Amino acid sequence: MLYLIPTPIGNLEDITLRALRILKEVGLILAEDTRTSKKLLAHYEIDTPLRSYHAHNEHAVTASLASQMEAGATIALISDAGTPGISDPGFLLARECVRRGIRVECLPGPTAFVPALAASGLPCDKFHFEGFLPHKKGRATRIEYLAALPYTFVLYESPHRLLKCLNQLAEACGPERQACVARELTKIHEELRTDTLEALITYYSDPARVKGEIVVVVEGKK
């Protein structure tokens, strides 16, 4: 079978007891970046064999991994941080296993958008998860689509594009729309700031304030 195992998004304590046990018990761990995952596994004294599985080889190796599982292997997939498949490799392997009738289990655990959404103070009863916007082609169209949604939406954004993103959102949604920038979640310098898009643009115009990993949560259209 295939286990999808969420791993910490910053704080090493954010891994479940079951995740640690399964990572010890499986025959093989597939990791997005084996160097990153080696640090996590060494911290928890897990010496299960590790192989890389990432955006550049997933198309080539998915079928043979599924065949290994059909033949009886139990494999765990982890990404660099958070839940595999959420803006990370995982979908292709899960789909192939489901197609072949191989059992897939995803453990509950860390993912960046849930704490950002829940702590933003913006409505979280209904929401849209967008993940990363396209960098160039199709970006403006996508933002127009998001701006019209009647419920909260969530984006992943890199620090060097945050200001551009906030400006584009303000243009499409209006400067008074509420949003939250959640930075460095679970880490020492965690910061969540909920305000109008206009106020967030002013605050994050200082490049010294834009560091680390970022989730942007935006209120839906009223």
Of 37, 83, 120, 168, the residue at the interface with ligand SAM (CB under 6 A) is: 83
Of 34, 36, 52, 186, the residue at the interface with ligand SAM (CB under 6 A) is: 186
Residue 29 C-beta: closest distance to ligand SAM, Å: 16
79 binds ligand SAM (CB under 6 A): yes
Q: Helix, strand or coil for residue 25? A: helix
Window of 144-152, 172-180, 181-189, 199-207 that interacts with ligand SAM by CB under 6 A: 181-189
36 binds ligand SAM (CB under 6 A): no
Residue 3 C-beta: closest distance to ligand SAM, Å: 15
Residue 101 C-beta: closest distance to ligand SAM, Å: 26
Q: Is 206 exposed, middle or buried (0-12, 13-18, 19+ CB in 10 A)?
A: exposed
CA atoms of 148 and 33, how far apart (whole Å): 37
> Which CB sits closer to ligand SAM, 117 or 185?
185
Of 143, 156, 162, 179, the residue at the interface with ligand SAM (CB under 6 A) is: 156
- Contacts for 29-35: CB closer than 8 Å, 24+ residues apart: 29/75, 29/76, 29/77, 29/78, 30/65, 30/75, 30/76, 30/77, 30/78, 30/93, 31/77, 31/78, 31/79, 32/78, 32/79, 32/80, 32/84, 32/88, 32/89, 33/80
CB atoms near residue 12 (< 10 Å):
12
Sign for the pseudo-dihedral over CA of 190, 195, 197, 200: negative
> Which CB sits closer to ligand SAM, 35 or 100?
35
CA atoms of 84 and 68, how far apart (whole Å): 20
88 binds ligand SAM (CB under 6 A): yes
Q: Helix, strand or coil for residue 58? A: helix
Residue 136 C-beta: closest distance to ligand SAM, Å: 18
Window of 74-82, 139-147, 160-168, 195-203 that interacts with ligand SAM by CB under 6 A: 74-82
Phi and psi for 183 in degrees, rounded to 5?
Answer: -115, 140
127 binds ligand SAM (CB under 6 A): no
Residue 43 C-beta: closest distance to ligand SAM, Å: 17
**Where do contacts with ligand SAM occur on this chain (CB under 6 A)?**
9-10, 79, 81-83, 86-88, 111-113, 156-158, 182-187, 213-215
